[in-house]
Amino acid sequence: MLDIKLLRENPEVVKENIKRKFQDEKLELVDEVIQLDIDFRNSKTKADELRSHRNSQSKLIGAFMQKGQKEEAENTKKEIANIGEEIAKLEVLEEQLQVKIKNIMLILPNIIDESVPLGKDDSCNVEIERYGEPVIPEFEVPYHVDIMENLNGIDLDSARKTSGNGFYYLLGDIARLQSAILSYARDFMIDRDFTYCIPPFMIRSEVVTGVMSFAEMENMMYKIEGEDLYLIGTSEHSMIGKFINTINDVTTLPQKYTSYSPCFRKEVGAHGIEERGVYRIHQFEKQEMVVVCKPEDSINWYNQMWNYSVELFKSLDIPVRTLECCSGDLADLKVKSCDIEAWSPRQKKYFEVCSCSNLGDAQARRLGIKVADGKEKYFAHTLNNTVVAPPRMLIAFLENNLNEDGSVNIPLALRPYMGFKDKIVKK
C-alpha cells in the first residue's frame, strides 16, 4: 500500500507507475482518492474545531449558573448538544471516507524499481543469465507422471476418488525423494544462517489482505467456512504475518527465516498438459525463505536470495536460468521480482521453479511492521523467495537425472537424505 503523502504531493509519479504496469483503468482512482483524502481532512478539521468550541462553551455553563443566569446556561447546553450531534455525524463521515480511501489504496500498485523492464505480460520478461549446461538426452524423456509411475511412485487415480483432480498420492522412493529435497533445502538455508520455522498453516483475513492483493487472494486462497481463517498458499503469508503490528529494533535486523509448510491453492484457470500431473496442484509442500530488513538493505538481500536458489539447483545438477519479471508481470505489491527457471529435457525449454520478490514497504505498511532506529521509526522492507517447491522441483529433478533404463540418479548432495542410495530403480 502506498503512502497517502505520495499521492498528495506527487500524484503524477503514481499515475506514471500505473501506466508502466499497463493498468490504465486505475488512473482515475488517483484523483478520486486524493479528493476523498481532502474531504476526510476537511471533515476532521471541522470536527476538531467543533470540539474546541464545545469545550470552551462547556466552561461557560458553570459561570452562568454561579451568576444565576439559568436561561443562558440552558441555551448553552442546547448549543453543546447540537454541536455534539454535528460532531457525531462528522465522525461517521470520517469513518466512511477512511474505508473508501483504504479500499482504493489497497488496489493501487506499488512503485516499481526503475530497473524493471517494461512489458505487458510474462512474454516480455528478460533473461538475465544461465547456469549449467542444458542437456537433451539421446533417448526420449517421458512425461514426469510416467517416470514416477514406472518407479511405482505416484497414484493419481486413487487421489481423484478421495479428493478430486489436482491431488496425488506419492509412494515409495518418490515420496522419500520429495521429503529428502525438502530436508536438504532446509539444511541448505540453515547453513546460510537462516532460522528454521514451521508456521501456522491458517491465517486470519487481516493477514491475508496484508500480504497480497485482492486479485491474488481471490485466485489462490481457500476460506475456512464459518471461521475468519484461510489456508495459506505459501508460508510467506504466515511468516510475514508473524511481524504484524511490531516495532523492531534496528539492531535485530535483518530477520531471516526459512520456513516449511504445506500449501493450498485454488489454481483457478489451470489447464493443458503441463497443468496435469504435479505441475499445478491444489496441495503441495514448500520450503521458503523470508527476510525482514532495513529499506537500504533490501536490494542486496534480493540479489542474495535469488542467488541462493541458483546455488541450490546447481548442487543438484539441474541447469537453471534467471528471468527479470517485466512491469506487467509484477503483482501489485512487488517492487522487483525475478523467476528462476529449471531446464526441462522433455520440453526442451525452461520452466518456473522459484520466484524471488522484493516488496519494499508494501506489506509492512499494511501490517504495521516498523523499524525503531533511535528516536526514528519507519516501515521495514520484506522479501521472499522459494527455496524449493517439490512438485515442480520433482519434475526438474527427475527429468535431469533420468537414465535411459528408467532409473534416476541421486546427486551426491542428496544421498545422505536418501539412505546413501546413488540411484532410484524400479522394484
DSSP 19-61: HHTT-GGGHHHHHHHHHHHHHHHHHHHHHHHHHHHHHHHHHHH
User: pLDDT tens, position by position, for the chain (427 residues)?
Assistant: 899 999 999 999 999 999 999 999 999 999 999 999 999 999 999 999 999 988 888 888 777 777 888 888 888 888 889 999 999 999 999 999 999 999 999 999 999 999 999 999 999 999 999 999 999 999 999 999 999 999 999 999 999 999 998 899 999 999 999 999 999 999 999 999 999 999 999 999 999 999 987 677 777 899 999 999 999 999 999 999 999 999 999 999 999 999 999 999 987 555 544 456 788 889 999 999 999 999 999 999 999 999 999 999 999 999 999 999 999 999 999 999 999 999 999 999 999 999 999 999 999 999 999 999 999 999 999 999 999 998 889 999 999 999 999 999 999 999 999 999 999 998 7
Q: In the prediction, which pLDDT does 268 show?
A: 59
**Residue 34: exposed, middle, or buried by beta-carbon count in 10 A (0-12, 13-18, 19+)?**
middle
Q: Are 222 and 231 in contact (CB under 8 A)?
A: yes
Q: Are 65 and 148 in contact (CB under 8 A)?
A: no
- List CB contacts of 423: < 8 A, sequence separation 6 or more: 403, 407, 408, 409, 410
Q: What is the dihedral of CA 122, 127, 133, 138, to 10 degrees?
A: 40
Q: Is 387 helix (H, G, I), strand (E, B) or coil?
A: strand
Quick one: cell of 139? 533417448
The number of CA neighbours under 13 Å toward the Cβ of 368 is 6
Q: Are 368 and 290 in contact (CB under 8 A)?
A: no
**What topology does CATH give the domain 4-105?**
Helix Hairpins (1.10.287)
Architecture of 122-424 per CATH?
A: 2-Layer Sandwich (3.30)
Neighbours of 316 (CB within 10 A): 23
Domain ranges of the chain: 4-105, 122-424
Spell out where 204-332 has E strands: 222-223, 230-231, 246-249, 255-264, 283-293, 320-324
Q: In the prediction, which pLDDT does 230 show?
A: 94
**Residue 326: exposed, middle, or buried by beta-carbon count in 10 A (0-12, 13-18, 19+)?**
buried
